[in-house]
Chain A
Amino acid sequence: MFIDNWLIITLIVLLPFLSFGIIPLLKKMGDKSIAWITVLLSGLVALFVFLLIPDIYATGADPITAQYNWVPTIGLTFDIHIDALAIFMAAIASGIGFLVVLYSTKYMEGEKGLPRYYALIMLFIGAMICLVITDNLLIVYFFWEIVGLCSYALISFNVQDPSAAKAGIKAFVTTRIGDIGLIIGIFILYLGFQTFSIQDIITTLTNADTVAFNDLMVYVAPAGFFFILGAMGKSAQIPLHAWLPDAMEAPTTVSALIHAATMVNAGIYILARMAPVFVYVNGWPTTLLYLGGITALVAAIMAVVEPDLKRLLAYSTISQLGYMVFAIGLVLNLGNGAVDLQGVFISQYHLLNHSVFKALLFLCAGAIIHSVGTRNMYEMRGLKKEMPKTRWLMLIGVLALAGVPIFSGFWSKDMIFAGALEHELWIPLALVVITGVLTFAYSLRMYFLVFEGEGNRKHAVHETPNVMLIVLAILAVGALASWILIQTFSMGFEVFGLGTHTHYLGDFVSETFTSAAFGLTVLALGLGFVLYWFRNSLKNNMISQWIIKWGRTGFGFDRLYNNIAVGVKEVALKLRRFQTGDANLNFIGIVLLLIIVLIMLAYQGVF
């Protein structure tokens, strides 16, 4: 390598945060210059991340490590530990991030507050990269919070729209529940291991003898479930999923970033990262299986009945995230310290494919909404004449989402079915296969509603501008071909012991098409098509009407959260009486506290 790795890592860490500071200062230069400067900066970040990939994915590579002292007196360091999983997530965040910024140059043209928008996007990308490359759980938590903060600020980007502001607050509060779970989990792990380093925790646990191991499990077991809570908030698993559909108030570029590159991947990442530790916990994988399976199914049902294009995509994201959580649940404790971590690889493989096609779908949806001016699919109709290029690109994304053979979504979804089949997990398998049926049905419904049929529009609709089309085309190629990376990808994961054997491309293709899981995929697609075909005759009975009515109101989750919020507000208004605002009373409080502290110190024998 012609540049020192340490230098590259330092640049990767510093550049996004420097840009976050600098971009708002350039306000005088005009929105256009700022947009292109951000394209340049995010391109540089992506370039540096991609420069590290050959080092990691070459056979027999070592992890790239670096260390920055942060608070040396108490031994707090910003450790960097880049392995196959970390560099992969960083590449997704920076690569998709770069494409989104490039797309924004045209899409966000003429909006107010663009310096804030671009600065926050750089911070978002930077925080996500730092989250995945650090080895220190405490630092993971800091960047975890920054990611949450950025998503809040970007969801409410349109500050004058009250519904956007509310959606931002909802996202922030809902993910906060998960964040608290995560920090509790981290502290419990610290109690057991006396370290925040993930690698140290894994080595300690795998090298422990039986007695020490049993002692450690007392801490690991509860921590595992608190980590699941953290991932539930960030990765929008039921019941903490309600913020993601509302987050659609954000500009579509932000939605694409949240869904494909940054925010929701963080939860999947932390589960995958900690899976080698928590796999020993009884019931941890099973919990993930059911959590992921039920989330995937319920979200798919809501997607089937959703009339809003962006919300439909949001539900499909929740459903696909359910698949990923499910895949992590496929890890297995074989006993005697041996573990099968195949599930970690499957989930990351699905994450790779999902990121690409979901970014494609969102950016296509953005282009459509940009030119049609509505998000309701029933008001779109018949766009294939007016936007022929967008139509073909979106079709690729839709087929990849549905898991139609040879498109990227198919390969990873097939692996998930195969994994569940191999472990003979019948009920979870049924959950994901039914989800597969529904996925194909709602994908078809979305495509046909938007592009087929007859639209009646008063104003003319224009084709997507060229800059945006280039980005869409790049992503479409990815959605067609990202699965081909499996050989390199699985080799990297094998080298770092993240639970897989190398899948050689030829073998992988022939194995996929001859496995029993392929039959399940075909079955799911067939049933999905039947479901779509007979949609009108299926719609009129009681059960369907009930599902439509409840699915469109989010199965009551929103109402539940609303009631909780109202209740908390009432309690807060009652508690408010204690805060009189009288300066004399406040002073008395301060003095009383001082006296109490003095008395406590006297008891301790300080004087």
Chain B
Amino acid sequence: MAIEIVQTNLLFGFILLGMGLYCVLSKKNLIKMVIGLEIMSKGAILAFVGFGGLSVQAYVVVAIAIEAIVAAVALSIIVNVWKHTKSLDITDMSRLRG
């Protein structure tokens, strides 16, 4: 029973990671890329829960909080990019100089 739960968690974690990775690698829209990043990290957290069980809860909560911060920072950068270029396409940002 316990092993099954671990395996299911790992499986879904892997699927989430793959989805997120595909999203990050293929999408051109900045918002979509951030969503992909979030999905990826959720997959990693799920795998973490699957291995650790009850003992990792505190770490997982902290990790989720950090995820929220990362998303907030990324979105604020995106807002500034939008103000600057009036576009959310990642290919328009291929130069660091604005």
Query: In this complex, what residue of A is CB-closest to B27?
Result: A584
Partner-binding segment picked from B7-15, B43-51, B58-66, B87-95: B87-95
Q: Determine if A580 is an interface residue (Cβ-Cβ < 8 Å).
A: yes
Q: Which residues of B contact A582 (CB under 8 A)?
A: 90-91, 94
B25 and A581: CB pair below 8 A?
no
Return A585 CB to nearest CB of chain B, in Å: 9
Cα–Cα, bound, A581→B91 (Å): 8
A243-270 vs B: 1/0 string, CB under 8 Å? 0000000000000000000000000000
Cα–Cα, bound, A587→B95 (Å): 16
Return A259 CB to nearest CB of chain B, in Å: 39
Chain A residues numbered 551-607 whose CB sits less than 8 Å from any CB in chain B = 580-584, 587-588, 591
Q: Which residues of A contact B26 (CB under 8 A)?
A: 584
A355-384 vs B: 1/0 string, CB under 8 Å? 000000000000000000000000000000
Q: Determine if B21 is an interface residue (Cβ-Cβ < 8 Å).
A: yes
Q: Which residues of B contact A591 (CB under 8 A)?
A: 21, 25
Q: Which residues of A contact B93 (CB under 8 A)?
A: 581, 583
Question: Most chain-B CB neighbours within 10 Å: which of A582, A584, A588?
Answer: A584
Chain A residues numbered 521-578 whose CB sits less than 8 Å from any CB in chain B = none
Q: Which residues of A contact B91 (CB under 8 A)?
A: 582
Question: Most chain-B CB neighbours within 10 Å: which of A583, A587, A588?
Answer: A583
B25 and A584: CB pair below 8 A?
yes
Cα–Cα, bound, A580→B94 (Å): 7
B61-94 vs A: 1/0 string, CB under 8 Å? 0000000000000000000000000000011011
Return B15 CB to nearest CB of chain A, in Å: 17
Query: In this complex, what residue of A is CB-closest to B90?
Result: A583
Q: Determine if B16 is an interface residue (Cβ-Cβ < 8 Å).
A: no
Cα–Cα, bound, A440→B93 (Å): 62
A587 and B25: CB pair below 8 A?
yes
Total interface residues on B, using CB and 8 Å?
13
Return A46 CB to nearest CB of chain B, in Å: 45
Q: Which residues of B contact A583 (CB under 8 A)?
A: 33, 90, 93
Cα–Cα, bound, A544→B71 (Å): 73
Cα–Cα, bound, A591→B24 (Å): 11
B28 and A581: CB pair below 8 A?
no
A587 and B24: CB pair below 8 A?
yes
A584 and B95: CB pair below 8 A?
no
Q: Which residues of A contact B33 (CB under 8 A)?
A: 583
Return A607 CB to nearest CB of chain B, in Å: 15
Q: Which residues of A contact B96 (CB under 8 A)?
A: 581
B94 and A581: CB pair below 8 A?
yes
Query: In this complex, what residue of A is CB-closest to B95?
Result: A581
Return A584 CB to nearest CB of chain B, in Å: 6
Return A593 CB to nearest CB of chain B, in Å: 14
Q: Which residues of B contact A581 (CB under 8 A)?
A: 93-96
A584 and B28: CB pair below 8 A?
yes
Cα–Cα, bound, A583→B32 (Å): 13
Return A184 CB to nearest CB of chain B, in Å: 33
Chain A residues numbered 62-117 whose CB sits less than 8 Å from any CB in chain B = none
Q: Which residues of B contact A580 (CB under 8 A)?
A: 94
Question: Most chain-A CB neighbours within 10 Å: which of B26, B93, B94?
Answer: B94
Q: Which residues of A contact B21 (CB under 8 A)?
A: 591
Return A597 CB to nearest CB of chain B, in Å: 16
Cα–Cα, bound, A591→B40 (Å): 13
Q: Which residues of A contact B25 (CB under 8 A)?
A: 584, 587-588, 591
Cα–Cα, bound, A588→B24 (Å): 9
Cα–Cα, bound, A591→B17 (Å): 12
Query: In this complex, what residue of A is CB-closest to B30?
Result: A583
Cα–Cα, bound, A582→B28 (Å): 9
Return B54 CB to nearest CB of chain A, in Å: 26
Return B43 CB to nearest CB of chain A, in Å: 14
Cα–Cα, bound, A201→B21 (Å): 53
Return B3 CB to nearest CB of chain A, in Å: 19
Q: Which residues of B contact A584 (CB under 8 A)?
A: 24-28, 90
Return B85 CB to nearest CB of chain A, in Å: 14
Query: In this complex, what residue of B is CB-closest to A579?
Result: B94
Q: Which residues of A contact B94 (CB under 8 A)?
A: 580-582
Query: In this complex, what residue of A is CB-closest to B33?
Result: A583
Cα–Cα, bound, A539→B58 (Å): 86
Q: Which residues of B contact A588 (CB under 8 A)?
A: 25
Query: In this complex, what residue of B is CB-closest to A584?
Result: B25
Query: In this complex, what residue of B is CB-closest to A583?
Result: B90
Cα–Cα, bound, A582→B95 (Å): 9
Cα–Cα, bound, A263→B9 (Å): 62
Cα–Cα, bound, A240→B57 (Å): 61
Query: In this complex, what residue of B is CB-closest to A580?
Result: B94
Cα–Cα, bound, A583→B90 (Å): 7
Cα–Cα, bound, A580→B95 (Å): 8
Return A503 CB to nearest CB of chain B, in Å: 62
Cα–Cα, bound, A506→B19 (Å): 89
Query: In this complex, what residue of A is CB-closest to B26?
Result: A584
Return A594 CB to nearest CB of chain B, in Å: 10
Cα–Cα, bound, A580→B21 (Å): 20
Return A432 CB to nearest CB of chain B, in Å: 53
Q: Chain B: residues with CB nearer than 8 A to chain A?
A: 21, 24-28, 33, 90-91, 93-96
A-B contact pairs, 15 of them (CB 8 A): A580-B94, A581-B93, A581-B94, A581-B96, A582-B90, A582-B91, A583-B33, A583-B90, A584-B24, A584-B27, A584-B90, A587-B24, A587-B25, A588-B25, A591-B25
Q: Chain A: residues with CB nearer than 8 A to chain B?
A: 580-584, 587-588, 591
Q: 4 closest pairs, A vs B, by CB?
A: A581-B94, A583-B90, A587-B25, A587-B24
Q: A581-B95, A584-B24 are in contact. List 17 more A-B contacts (CB 8 A).
A: A581-B93, A581-B94, A581-B96, A582-B90, A582-B91, A582-B94, A583-B33, A583-B90, A584-B25, A584-B26, A584-B27, A584-B28, A584-B90, A587-B24, A587-B25, A588-B25, A591-B21
